[in-house]
Amino acid sequence: MNKNTKVLALKYRPQVFEDLIGQEIVSETILNSIKANKIPNAYLFTGIRGVGKTTIARIIAKTLNCLNGIDKLCKKDLCENCNSISNSNHIDVLEMDAASKTGVDDVRDLIEFSRYGPTSAKYKIFIIDEVHMLSKQAFNALLKTLEEPPEYLKFIFATTEIKKIPITVISRCQRFDLPRVKSMELLKFIEKIKDKENGKVSEEALKFIVKASEGSVRDALSLLDRALLSIDKNAEFNLEHAQKIFGYVDKFQLINLFKLIFQGNEEKVLKMYRSIYDQGVEPNIFINDFLELLYYFKNIESLTLEGTNFSLNDKEFEEIKEIAKNVDAKSIILFWQFTIKTLSELDIVSNQNLSIEMFLIRLIHLKEISDNRKELDQSKNDTKLHNKNDIILKNKSIQKEDFFDLKNKTIDQIKNVIQEKKTEQSDKKIENENLTISSFKDLLNVCNLKKEIKLKYELENNVNLVSFENQRIEISFNEDLDKEFIKILSSKLYEWTDSRWIITLSKKKGEISKKEKELILKKDLLEKVKKNQIYKNILEKFSDAELIDVEIEKEND
């Protein structure tokens, strides 16, 4: 393929370590290890897309196999080995995509192939991209070869998801974590590419491309390629074009939208959002940009214009700083929580646009609630600082006579509240006076009356009565009794009788529980019924019949 017809990401792909950007430490470490002849059995590169994992793997392959040696590596005029590796057709350098060859059989073929030495190069090198896609069995098959490969064999792994690789594989590799490329470094790089391509792109548009690429060199070059192809040769690609083509929201529009939300102007807020939506901005992109803006409003004082990753220009930065002075931090945090929640709701609603509109309306009402709370807190503070009489007398419309009238009414209201509480207490006392607990049966009846179902259940099922005297109960219990039973029963008895009761635990077995009594009674009745002539007559007609249960009929009062 003609180099001029290639996309920018391939056309300007680094061929030597000096061409790499943002990975100087990694480059220096690898070169030093090769020069010192301390080459690891396997390299492992991890990082986000487009930061140079596969590119570095190829450069290492060329460095190890260059015909000119480590001290005179090819730069412009490539030797036969370097040229073949660059074109991915060298017989001793095998590039494999683990996403398409994930099985153990593929790895076995690889191991079988590794038994033969290199044909024309010094090292046989296996470059495995997206290595995390290999199966567990495939990784296990690779372990022994990875730990002790032949001297001529080297592995180079690349992955975006390091956590999916077994620790047994990672420990056998020399690992390098490739960072995102810094914004200023990436900006200078794409400016050079733009000049080489004779493209006309404004600095603001380039900054926008850098921001959108999120530290990925490949993404930045792909966006630049798209930008250069979207305009005429004589026209300049500016920020407005970038926002329109790449589908991002103009920050100034978002800032104005934010101001309208705080003003509570629902009509204008919806109108502005609809104009943003008509520009082709997707709801999820809008929400993410809105979150970013909330972050700036909360932390603008701690940020500098140079450190905002080209997200804001001078005018936007100053505008946010000015607005943030009058914005409550609590409101911003509430907005953040609502925005995150809306982001998760987008997948549920079929029409995402409607969900965003409702989200903006909710923010307006949330702001009103926040303001009301603020006013309420302010009024509470004022009340603490000033005497009530002074506050009332400050109002000219209230006369002195009215003040004393108001004072009397307030006192009457306080009296009424106290009287109501006393009345409630006296009613409760009268109600409890009518209760008499002189036996275990009375205690069960009171529990039923007071709707203490759990307490009644414990008394009936898990308690054996030893003795019941005046305000003194002695019991034994089974292992199912609630640990808090004694405490709860004592508290309730004091509440019902206004007297302290003594509850003691005994080693004596005591009476059987009410539940056990019922079971024995039912069993006796069952045996009695089975001896009845009616039951015997039924068995004569239905030989396989069996009496299972007997229901005791309760007498009406």
Q: What is the pLDDT of residues 235-250, one digit of tens each?
A: 888 887 887 787 666 6
Evaluate whether 64 touches 39 at the Cβ level (below 8 Å). yes
Class of domain 3-177: alpha beta
Q: What is the pLDDT of residues 438-456, one digit of tens each?
A: 888 888 888 888 888 888 8
CATH fit for domain 183-246, picks 3.30.70, 1.10.287, 1.10.8, 1.20.120: 1.10.8
Q: What is the pLDDT of residues 105-163, one digit of tens each?
A: 888 888 888 888 898 889 999 999 999 999 999 999 999 899 899 999 999 999 999 99
Give the pLDDT band of residue 407 (cuts 50, 70, 90): very low
The larger pLDDT score, comparing residue 483 to residue 1, is at 483
Evaluate whether 230 touches 237 at the Cβ level (below 8 Å). yes
Give the pLDDT band of residue 344 (cuts 50, 70, 90): confident
Map residue 192 onto helix, strand or coil.
helix
Evaluate whether 189 touches 217 at the Cβ level (below 8 Å). yes
Residue 33 has pLDDT above 50, yes or no: yes
Alpha helices in 279-351 (DSSP H): 283-299, 314-324, 329-345
Give the pLDDT band of residue 415 (cuts 50, 70, 90): very low
pLDDT at site 411: 47
Question: What is the topology classification, in CATH, of domain 251-371?
Answer: Zinc Finger, Delta Prime; domain 3 (1.20.272)
Share of the chain above pLDDT 90, in %: 19
Q: Find, among 253, 285, 289, the residue nearest to 269 by Cα.
A: 253
Residue 467 CB coordination number (10 Å): 14
CATH (residue range 440-511): 3.30.300
The 3-state secondary structure of 8-46, one letter per residue: HHHHCCCCCHHHCCCCHHHHHHHHHHHHCCCCCCEEEEE
Q: Token pair for residue 183?
A: 């914004």
Give the pLDDT band of residue 170 (cuts 50, 70, 90): very high
Q: CA 100 to CA 111: how far, in whole Å? A: 17
Q: Find, among 275, 278, 223, the residue nearest to 254 by Cα.
A: 275
Q: Kindly state the average pLDDT of the residues 386-391.
A: 48
Name residues whose C-beta falls within 8 Å of residue 139's C-beta, 6 or more positions apart in sequence: 165, 166, 168, 169
Q: Find, among 54, 44, 53, 46, the residue nearest to 161 by Cα.
A: 46
Residue 273 CB coordination number (10 Å): 23
Give the global pTM. 0.57
The larger pLDDT score, comparing residue 101 to residue 223, is at 223
Q: Kindly state the average pLDDT of the residues 531-543.
A: 76
pLDDT at site 156: 95
Relative to beta strand 174-177, strand 153-159 is unpaired
**Would you list the domain boundaries of the chain?**
3-177, 183-246, 251-371, 440-511, 514-557
Alpha helices in 66-135 (DSSP H): 80-86, 104-114
Residue 390 has pLDDT above 80, yes or no: no
Name residues whose C-beta falls within 8 Å of residue 238's C-beta, 6 or more positions apart in sequence: 201, 202, 204, 205
Evaluate whether 260 touches 226 at the Cβ level (below 8 Å). no
pLDDT at site 306: 57
Q: Find, among 273, 331, 292, the residue nearest to 214 by Cα.
A: 292
375 φ/ψ angles, rounded to the nearest 5 degrees: -65, -40
